[in-house]
Chains A and B, each alone.
Chain A
Amino acid sequence: MKELVELIAKSLVDYPEQVDVKQVEGEHSIILELRVAPDDMGKVIGKQGRIAKAIRTVVNAAAVKDKKRVMVEIVQ
């Protein structure tokens, strides 16, 4: 899951080398914390959060196989 968020985020931003994803695993859920360069925040969120929402939709679909809930959080 971590690799998936990395792949998508790195393709969206201007500073791919500053993309960092931390995976925090719980019993029934996984939290993926996505960090990007401050200038790139808007590039992974999009207008009205449309890009962030699309990322979450794709990641959640991929997570169906693992039978775990995945939450993608964009953190500063």
Chain B
Amino acid sequence: MKTLEVTAKTVEEALEEGIKELGVKKNNVRVEIINEPSQGLLKFLSSKNAKIKLTVLKEPEEYVKEFLEKLLHIIQLNGKVIVERENDGDLHFNISGKDLGLLIGKRGNTLNALQYLLNVILHRQFALIEGRVIVDIENYREKRKITLEQLAKNLASKVMRTKKEVVLEPMTPQERRIIHIALKNNKHVVTYSHGDDPHRKVIISPR
């Protein structure tokens, strides 16, 4: 566990400085007071600073996993939260279990909202973290990727046949990326995005 020793005039000041340096919230550290501040009879003379030791209780991965477990418990779903380690700097979680469809929602709507919230929460709780949270449920994202790749190919053929551009429905950045990559090497069509999130759409047009 990450620890840090801080010295300041008072215990409160040391705590404020310490959590700022660690980039975490007060409720995520254990505080041990090593030295209480003391003042000599004549203030400022022979006064001693406060010294404390902070220990971070929960690391980001553990924090998010616990959050998801609490959420599943509250909505009475039996799901197992699995941490998937991939060396890309992001935190990957997969939830497996029965009847989790309601957490995925129409075209991943709910799953995407949940993932968005987790990202906001992660960066609020851990100010220094750089990675993102990626959540999947029963490998939905992998299946969706295959569907989108297939859709991209079908629409590209249509564009080639009709010579007219096709506008797709709004998608998240990750989903749009899948479409762009799927058609990157297609010599007959180009893809680009138009509009602002969350209404940004991919357009496939003849080259």
A-facing mask of B64-103, CB < 8 A → 1, else 0? Answer: 0001001100111000000000000000000000000011
Contact B67 A51 (CB under 8 A): no
Once bound together, how far apart are the Cα atoms of A20 and B125, in whole Å?
Answer: 20
For A, the interface residue count at a CB cutoff of 8 angstroms equals: 21
- Taking CB atoms, residues of chain A closer than 8 Å to B70 are 7
The SS class assigned to the A binding surface is: helix
B116 within 8 A of A: yes
Complex interface: chain B residues within 8 A of A74 (CB): none
Whether B121 pairs with A4 at a CB distance below 8 angstroms is no
B39 at the interface (CB under 8 A from A): no
Q: When chains A and B are docked, how far (Å) is the Cα of A67 from the Cα of B201? A: 33
Residues of A within 8 A of B198 (CB): 50
Q: Is A55 interfacial (CB-CB < 8 Å)?
A: yes
- Asked if B153 is at the interface of the complex by the 8 Å CB criterion, the answer is no
Please report B residues at the A interface, Cβ cutoff 8 Å.
Answer: 25, 27, 67, 70-71, 74-76, 102-103, 105, 109-110, 113-114, 116-117, 120-121, 124-125, 198
> Chain A residues in contact with chain B, CB under 8 A?
3-4, 7-8, 11-12, 14, 16, 43, 46, 50-51, 53-55, 57-58, 61-62, 64-65
